[in-house]
Amino acid sequence: MKTMTCKQLGGACNKTFSADTFDEIVTMSKSHGMEMFEKNDKSHLDAMEEISVLMQDQSKMQEWFNQKKEEFNAL
Ligand SMILES: [Zn+2]
């Protein structure tokens, strides 16, 4: 079981997620992100905007994703 924070996963707070696989932890952070989005949490909205800019460039997004995955695997 590995633990990463919302912030480490491109979010904005220190909430932690624990999972065995990177895909699982991404799913957890995404649903937390959606929750914060619904609550109109400013810092999460800003963080999401940054990610959505990244998403417009597939190779940059892939690079970001791989980087986070490496971080997870290195834990
Ligand atoms: Zn968060």
Domain of 62? 2-74
Distance between CA atoms of 20 and 43, rounded to whole angstroms?
27
What are the 10-residue block averages of pLDDT along the chain, 75 residues in total? 97 98 96 97 96 93 95 97
User: How far apart are the CA of 7 and the centre of ligand 1, in A?
Assistant: 7
What amino acid is encoded at 73 in this protein? N
Q: Say how many domains are in the chain.
A: 1
- Please give the distance, rounded to the nearest whole angstrom, from the Cα atom of residue 33 to the centre of ligand 1: 6
The predicted structure's pLDDT at residue 24? 97
- pLDDT score for 32: 98
pLDDT of residue 41: 98
Q: How far apart are CA 5 and CA 16, in angstroms?
A: 4
**Ligand 1 center from residue 59 Cα (angstroms):** 25
Residue 56 Cα to ligand 1 middle (Å): 22
